[in-house]
């Protein structure tokens, strides 16, 4: 039996038990995990050190090494994250809809667990704990396939969580960490139809595309964000400066940060110098269309197809002056990854048209795109932000890790 098939069979064997576990049992398991992470701090740090040593030897960048590093604070942070998941409501058993048919059949639509979830992710070992805890709370089994760079950390975190889960009488196999990080094993995991119900990739666009291209198990795409702020003719320009600056510079590396700024021609002469001045604070590099260059001067590089299509994830922005709301919407339709889009406006008509016609998971009027986040939406923790249209769109919390089941009660109805 292949290694991945064994993982799949273990997962299926654990599925029914966790699916029918009560909220109290699942919360007990999460509390045991949180406690075990803190109690095993030294063990985690020692295993993490092996990953860091290998990273150094392989010449990994300082920034990436920092992402990989686990210390007492970060372990406490992971444990706190698990504690917060304990506090969230249990989605399982929620009644979504219910009705009685003319023939007397009573039909109830309830929320139930998805089954076995495969998570394929990159270097940050905190994902191992976050994802496992969320999946567990929603009554699911998880198979975690992290990056090779974090293998010692991930295997250690997995072992600690499995011990904790077993200590409260639930099957350890509700959490499995893939120990063989080879490409072949990952590919097999993506093709374990019948054992894995969904694969969620978390990480770079390259990782996500590789999963979409190779997986026969259903995939939920997350993360790619080429987001825009459009400053309408009637915008409050001070508000537009605050929103644009926040959406671009508060944390440029994340998917809900913006990459492009569209400005209506009627306010461009006034607004562009205001935002350019503000961008100096973070030394934001500006690409612009001809009109932007005409207004802001020769320090600006020319923006073209490439710049408007790029997710910079950095202190870089592409600016375009547009003739109309229509041009703004058309530009967004062409370049957007349908994650988060914003209009700053005082016009009710512009606001309504923008929200109706822009196709994205989250469409903002007069607020920063940075709010597209499970925590900011009030969902508690999130497993990612879906940029596809099936099953889940936008921040994915516990509810998005469930499916539904119809319960139908009759007294002998036949057709």
The single residue listed with the structure tokens 């444990």 is 79
Rounded CA separation 371/146 (Å): 27
Q: Smaller CB distance to its own copies: residue 72 or 406? A: 406
Q: What is the radius of gyration, based on Cα positions, of the chain?
A: 24
Task: Pick the stretch among 80-88, 130-138, 178-186, 402-410 that binds its own copies (CB under 8 A).
Answer: 402-410
Task: State the nearest-atom distance from the C-beta of 93 to its own copies, in Å.
Answer: 9
Count the residues of the shown chain that bind its own copies, applying the rule CB under 8 A: 67
Query: In the structure encoding, which two tokens stand for residue 75, read together?
Result: 């372990």
Q: Residue 222 contacts by C-beta under 8 Å, 6 or more apart in sequence?
A: 200, 201, 202, 208, 383, 384, 385, 386, 387, 396
Question: What element of type H or E holds 198?
Answer: strand 198-202
Closest to 260 in 3D by CA, of 333, 178, 362, 208: 333
Residues 1-30 as x/- pattern, contact with its own copies by CB under 8 A: ---------------x--xx----------
Task: State the nearest-atom distance from the C-beta of 49 to its own copies, in Å.
Answer: 34
Task: State the nearest-atom distance from the C-beta of 405 to its own copies, in Å.
Answer: 6
Q: Smaller CB distance to its own copies: residue 18 or 55? A: 18
377, exposed or middle or buried, with CB in 10 Å at 0-12, 13-18, 19+? Answer: middle
Task: State the nearest-atom distance from the C-beta of 37 to its own copies, in Å.
Answer: 28
Which of 28, 88, 394, 396 binds its own copies (CB under 8 A)? It is 394
Rounded CA separation 209/388 (Å): 13
- Determine contact, residues 157/125, Cβ cutoff 8 Å: yes
Is beta strand 384-386 parallel, antiparallel or unpaired with respect to 394-396? antiparallel
Is beta strand 227-231 parallel, antiparallel or unpaired with respect to 285-288? unpaired
Rounded CA separation 121/270 (Å): 44
Q: Smaller CB distance to its own copies: residue 32 or 141? A: 141
The residues pairing with 42 across neighbouring beta strands, listed in sequence order, are none
Task: Pick the stretch among 49-57, 239-247, 278-286, 301-309 that binds its own copies (CB under 8 A).
Answer: 239-247
Residues 79-118 as x/- pattern, contact with its own copies by CB under 8 A: --------------------x-x---x-x----x-xx---
Rounded CA separation 203/404 (Å): 28
Which of 250, 253, 282, 323 binds its own copies (CB under 8 A)? It is 250
Task: State the nearest-atom distance from the C-beta of 206 to its own copies, in Å.
Answer: 15
**389 contributes a contact to its own copies by CB under 8 A:** yes
Residues 182-201 as x/- pattern, contact with its own copies by CB under 8 A: -----------x---xx---
- Determine contact, residues 319/263, Cβ cutoff 8 Å: yes
Task: Pick the stretch among 149-157, 246-254, 261-269, 303-311 that binds its own copies (CB under 8 A).
Answer: 246-254
Name residues contacting its own copies, limited to 196-225 (CB under 8 A).
Answer: 197-198, 212-213, 216, 218-220
Name residues contacting its own copies, limited to 22-81 (CB under 8 A).
Answer: none
Q: Smaller CB distance to its own copies: residue 5 or 390? A: 390
Name residues contacting its own copies, limited to 320-379 (CB under 8 A).
Answer: 333, 351, 355-357, 359-368, 370-372, 376-378
- The length of the chain, given as a count of residues: 415
Q: Smaller CB distance to its own copies: residue 23 or 366? A: 366
Rounded CA separation 151/111 (Å): 34
Query: In the structure encoding, which two tokens stand for residue 139, read together?
Result: 């009554």
Query: In the structure encoding, which two tokens stand for residue 246, read together?
Result: 């926040």
Q: Give the single-character DSSP code of 214.
A: H
Q: Residue 127 contacts by C-beta under 8 Å, 6 or more apart in sequence?
A: 119, 121, 144, 146, 202
Binding residues for its own copies (CB under 8 A): 16, 19-20, 99, 101, 105, 107, 112, 114-115, 193, 197-198, 212-213, 216, 218-220, 236, 239, 242-243, 245-247, 250, 333, 351, 355-357, 359-368, 370-372, 376-378, 388-391, 393-394, 403-415
């Amino acid at each position: 039996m292949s290694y991945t098939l064994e993982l799949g069979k273990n997962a299926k064997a654990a599925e029914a038990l966790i699916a029918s576990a009560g909220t109290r049992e699942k919360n007990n398991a999460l509390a045991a995990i949180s406690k075990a992470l803190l109690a095993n701090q030294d063990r985690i740090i020692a295993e993490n050190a092996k990953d860091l040593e290998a990273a150094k030897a392989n010449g990994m960048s300082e920034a990436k090494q920092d992402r990989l590093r686990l210390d007492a604070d970060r372990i406490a942070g992971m444990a706190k994250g698990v504690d917060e998941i304990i506090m969230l409501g249990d989605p399982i058993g929620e009644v979504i809809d219910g009705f009685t048919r003319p023939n007397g059949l009573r039909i109830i639509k309830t929320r139930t667990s998805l089954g076995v979830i495969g998570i394929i992710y990159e270097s940050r070992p905190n994902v191992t704990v976050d994802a496992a805890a969320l999946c567990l709370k929603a009554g699911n089994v998880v198979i975690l396939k992290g990056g090779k760079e974090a293998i010692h950390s991930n295997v250690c975190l997995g072992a600690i969580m499995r011990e904790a889960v077993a200590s409260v009488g639930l099957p350890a196999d509700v959490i499995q960490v893939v120990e063989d990080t080879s490409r072949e094993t990952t590919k097999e995991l993506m093709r374990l139809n019948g054992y894995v119900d969904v694969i969620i990739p978390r990480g770079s666009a390259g990782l996500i595309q590789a999963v979409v291209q190779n997986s026969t198990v259903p995939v939920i795409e997350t993360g790619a964000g080429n987001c825009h702020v459009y400053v309408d003719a009637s915008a409050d320009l001070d508000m537009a400066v605050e929103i644009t600056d926040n959406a671009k510079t508060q944390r440029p590396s994340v998917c809900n940060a913006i990459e492009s700024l569209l400005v209506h021609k009627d306010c461009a002469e006034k607004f562009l110098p205001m935002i350019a001045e503000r961008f100096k604070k973070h030394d934001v590099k500006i690409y612009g269309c001809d009109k932007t260059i005409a207004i802001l001067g020769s320090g600006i590089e020319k923006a073209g197809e490439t710049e408007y299509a790029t997710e910079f994830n950095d202190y870089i922005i592409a600016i375009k002056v547009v003739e109309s709301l229509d041009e703004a919407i058309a530009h967004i339709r062409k370049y957007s990854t349908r994650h988060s889009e914003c209009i700053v406006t005082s016009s009710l008509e512009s606001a309504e048209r923008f929200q109706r016609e822009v196709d994205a998971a989250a469409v903002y009027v007069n607020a920063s795109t940075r709010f597209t986040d499970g925590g900011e939406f009030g969902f508690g923790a999130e497993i990612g932000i879906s940029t596809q249209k099936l099953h889940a769109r936008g921040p994915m919390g516990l509810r998005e890790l469930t499916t539904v089941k119809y319960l139908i009660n009759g007294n002998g109805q036949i057709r």
